[in-house]
């Protein structure tokens, strides 16, 4: 496929390409251009020229265009689902469901934009300003760069692109190199629906090269990034050089605390469903550390393993498959390495952990202690269950907070006083009671504490994050 620059489907200026392969079979699916600095320059020049006219287009017209895009998704659902399934190794049943989020979020931001009001200041508050009338309006930022990770391309594209476009910004998307195809198709559909070619663009290529040039360019008013903490820190530094805005949604190592009084069957179901079967555990906010009260540890472990044994792992294109591959063989090898590292630090691999190409069976690590890297800052992006034991709530809270991350946390208990004490004490952007942290609704302000990020995304907050307030004063009019 080609990149989308200034209304044209285009290759790289030097003809360079990146291969996109099916992780389940290794087969080449397609190539995408490896953008050069000259390609990026064309996109930035176009975006800077394009956004003022888009910002001046009435809101109802921008909304009508985005709603037309939403309708076109239904017409292409099967084609898009298969593309997503093949480039991610994602079960086809899961892929088909994912498009509901795109539609909901685009429609939701179109509606929310109608409520994006400014403010009028109260009159006569300050001596000497009694005759002035002050108001503040919201304006777009300009050019917004949206840099997207491989693991949830559709929902993250929607959380970034929909608010930025409806608010009148130009957008340049940089998808992950492992799975750019479905997003390129969505970009084509945005153009076909009527978004101008200089207002929505997409460049493909190496994150380290083209992504970092994009993030550091002074013409980019905001970098909206989701990805690893390591890259997020580099982006924050690059954008700061130009006083650029950033929205950073980064890595996590969320604790899932199971108290002595918890419903063990439900706790194990919560653990298994998020960590193994959705995107093969490659989720930022999913539980990655399992803190189990000593008295229920054996029962929880047996129940969890029983559930993991029943998961149907296999060909992502088979509708019966519940768990496909990781994003690539190298990603699966990295998970294998992290598990071996944890075993070398004293943990016991008591179930699974078998790799074949990009497939990796869910792994249960027992006897994990607070002395091991996996208990703190080593994020494992795959279906791995490190089990830690605790005796008191205070101990569970200390373990939960002993990490650079603060994205999500979850607790299972029947005692709402304990649940609330945990929720107040844990340093995380979202805390789930009666469930694990794999939870993100369209509305909630989603984001991280500590090195899990800065800024929030969601239908309730994103429009504020892609606009800025301008104060306008009528002096001496009263
Ligand atoms: P990644 O950081 O390797 O890459 C993310 C994107 O950044 C890709 O498009 C990549 O090409 C680009 N990139 C790489 N280096 C860059 C650079 N120097 N400058 C600019 N762009 C660059 O992340 P990944 O492996 O694709 O995704 C997994 C990570 O993302 C995990 O850490 C996960 O927790 C995190 N994540 C966080 C959230 C969240 O909402 N907090 C959601 C999903 C994933």
The response to whether residue 455 sits with its C-beta less than 6 Å from ligand 1 reads no
Distances (CA, A) of 114 to 107, 110, 334, 444: 12, 7, 46, 19
Half-sphere exposure of 139 (CA within 13 A, CB side): 13
**Position 447 in a domain:** no
Could you give the number of structural domains in the chain? 2
C-alpha 331 to ligand 1 mean position (Å) = 13
Distances (CA, A) of 259 to 391, 413, 416, 422, 444: 9, 5, 12, 11, 26
C-alpha 446 to ligand 1 mean position (Å) = 16
Clarify whether residues 267 and 389 are in a common domain.
Answer: yes
**Position 216 in a domain:** yes
C-alpha 56 to ligand 1 mean position (Å) = 33
DSSP H or E stretch at residue 107: helix 92-113
Clarify whether residues 233 and 342 are in a common domain.
Answer: no
Distances (CA, A) of 388 to 119, 304, 375, 383: 50, 14, 8, 16
Confidence at residue 94, expressed as pLDDT on a 0 to 100 scale: 93
Q: Domain of 419: which CATH number?
A: 3.40.309.10
Confidence at residue 302, expressed as pLDDT on a 0 to 100 scale: 98
Clarify whether residues 289 and 195 are in a common domain.
Answer: no
Clarify whether residues 200 and 217 are in a common domain.
Answer: yes
Clarify whether residues 21 and 113 are in a common domain.
Answer: yes
Clarify whether residues 356 and 461 are in a common domain.
Answer: no
The response to whether residue 453 sits with its C-beta less than 6 Å from ligand 1 reads yes
Site to probe by mutation for ligand 1, drawn from 207, 220, 404, 406 as the one with most ligand atoms within 8 Å of Cβ, is: 207
Clarify whether residues 344 and 460 are in a common domain.
Answer: no
Clarify whether residues 231 and 272 are in a common domain.
Answer: no
Site to probe by mutation for ligand 1, drawn from 148, 228, 452, 461 as the one with most ligand atoms within 8 Å of Cβ, is: 228
Clarify whether residues 258 and 348 are in a common domain.
Answer: yes
The residues with which 149 forms a beta bridge, in sequence order, are none
C-alpha 252 to ligand 1 mean position (Å) = 12
Q: Residues of 362-390 as b/e, b for ≥16 C-beta within 10 angstroms?
A: bbbbbebeeebebbeeebbbbbbbbbbbb
Number of Cβ within 10 Å of residue 340's Cβ equals 12
Clarify whether residues 241 and 261 are in a common domain.
Answer: no
> Can you tell me the distance from the alpha carbon of 179 to that of 87, in angstroms, rounded to the nearest whole number?
5
**Position 448 in a domain:** no
pLDDT per residue as tens digits for the range 181-226? 999 999 999 999 999 999 999 999 999 999 999 999 999 999 999 9
The response to whether residue 151 sits with its C-beta less than 6 Å from ligand 1 reads yes
**Position 335 in a domain:** yes
**Position 478 in a domain:** no
The response to whether residue 174 sits with its C-beta less than 6 Å from ligand 1 reads yes
Give the closest residue (by CA) to ligand 1 atom 9.
176
Give the closest residue (by CA) to ligand 1 atom 35.
227
Q: By the 8 A CB rule, do 13 and 36 touch?
A: yes
Q: Which residues are catalytic?
A: 160, 249, 284, 457
The residues with which 431 forms a beta bridge, in sequence order, are 409
Q: Which two tokens stand for residue 196?
A: 């101008």
Q: Domain of 184: which CATH number?
A: 3.40.605.10
**Position 76 in a domain:** yes
Clarify whether residues 211 and 313 are in a common domain.
Answer: no
Q: By the 8 A CB rule, do 411 and 422 touch?
A: yes
Give residue for tokens 């309006």. 137
The response to whether residue 407 sits with its C-beta less than 6 Å from ligand 1 reads yes
**Position 52 in a domain:** yes
Q: Which residues of the chain carry a pLDDT beneath 50?
A: none
> Can you tell me the distance from the alpha carbon of 278 to that of 97, in angstroms, rounded to the nearest whole number?
12
C-alpha 154 to ligand 1 mean position (Å) = 14
Confidence at residue 274, expressed as pLDDT on a 0 to 100 scale: 86
C-alpha 231 to ligand 1 mean position (Å) = 7
Averaged confidence pLDDT in the chain: 97
Q: Is 319 helix (H, G, I), strand (E, B) or coil?
A: coil
pLDDT per residue as tens digits for the range 38-84? 999 999 999 999 999 999 999 999 999 999 999 999 999 999 999 99
Q: By the 8 A CB rule, do 349 and 365 touch?
A: yes
The response to whether residue 152 sits with its C-beta less than 6 Å from ligand 1 reads yes
Residue ranges making up the domain that contains 380: 254-442
**Position 21 in a domain:** yes
**Given the CA of residue 379, which atom of ligand 1 is nearest to it?**
32
Clarify whether residues 210 and 286 are in a common domain.
Answer: no
The response to whether residue 406 sits with its C-beta less than 6 Å from ligand 1 reads no
């Amino acid at each position: 496929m080609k990149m989308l620059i200034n209304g044209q489907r285009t290759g790289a200026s030097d003809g360079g390409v990146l291969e996109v392969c099916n992780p389940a079979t290794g087969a080449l699916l397609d190539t995408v251009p490896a953008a050069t600095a000259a390609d990026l320059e064309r996109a930035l020049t176009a975006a800077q020229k394009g956004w003022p006219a888009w910002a001046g287009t009435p809101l109802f017209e921008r909304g009508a265009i985005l709603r037309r895009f939403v309708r076109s998704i239904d017409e292409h659902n099967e084609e898009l689902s298969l593309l997503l399934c093949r480039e991610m190794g994602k079960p086809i049943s899961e892929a088909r469901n994912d498009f509901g989020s795109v539609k909901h979020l685009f429609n939701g931001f179109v509606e929310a934009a109608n409520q994006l009001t400014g403010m009028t200041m109260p009159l006569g508050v300050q001596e000497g300003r009694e005759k002035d009338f002050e108001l503040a309006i919201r304006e777009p930022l300009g050019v917004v760069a949206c840099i997207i990770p491989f693991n949830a391309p559709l929902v993250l594209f929607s959380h970034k692109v929909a608010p930025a476009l409806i608010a009148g910004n130009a957008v340049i998307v940089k998808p992950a190199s492992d799975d750019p195809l479905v997003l390129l198709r969505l970009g084509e559909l945005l153009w076909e629906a009527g978004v101008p070619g200089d207002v929505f663009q997409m460049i493909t290529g190496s994150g380290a090269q083209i992504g970092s040039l994009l993030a550091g360019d002074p013409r980019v008013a905001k970098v909206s990034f989701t990805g690893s903490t390591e890259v997020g820190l580099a982006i924050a530094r690059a954008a700061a050089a130009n006083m650029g805005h950033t929205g950073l949604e980064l890595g996590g190592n969320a604790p899932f605390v199971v108290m002595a009084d918890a419903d063990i069957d439900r706790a194990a179901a919560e653990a298994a469903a998020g960590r193994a079967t959705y995107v093969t555990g490659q989720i930022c906010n999913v539980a990655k550390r399992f803190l189990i009260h000593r008295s229920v540890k054996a029962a929880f472990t047996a129940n969890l393993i029983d559930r993991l044994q029943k998961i149907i792992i296999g060909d992502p294109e088979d509708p019966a498959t519940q768990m496909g591959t990781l994003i690539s063989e190298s990603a699966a090898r990295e998970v294998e390495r992290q598990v071996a590292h944890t075993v070398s630090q004293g943990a016991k691999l008591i179930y699974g952990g078998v790799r074949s190409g990009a497939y990796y069976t869910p792994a249960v690590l027992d006897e994990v202690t607070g002395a091991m890297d996996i208990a703190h800052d080593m994020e494992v992006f795959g279906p791995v269950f490190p089990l830690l034991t605790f005796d008191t709530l205070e101990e569970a809270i200390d373990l939960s907070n002993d990490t650079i991350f603060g994205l999500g946390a979850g607790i299972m208990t029947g005692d709402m006083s304990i649940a609330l004490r945990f929720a107040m004490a844990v340093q995380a952007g979202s805390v789930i009671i009666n469930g694990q942290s794999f939870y993100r609704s369209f509305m909630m302000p989603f984001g991280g504490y500590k090195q899990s990020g800065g800024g929030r995304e969601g239908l309730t907050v994103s429009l504020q994050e892609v606009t800025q307030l301008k104060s306008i004063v009528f002096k001496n009019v009263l």
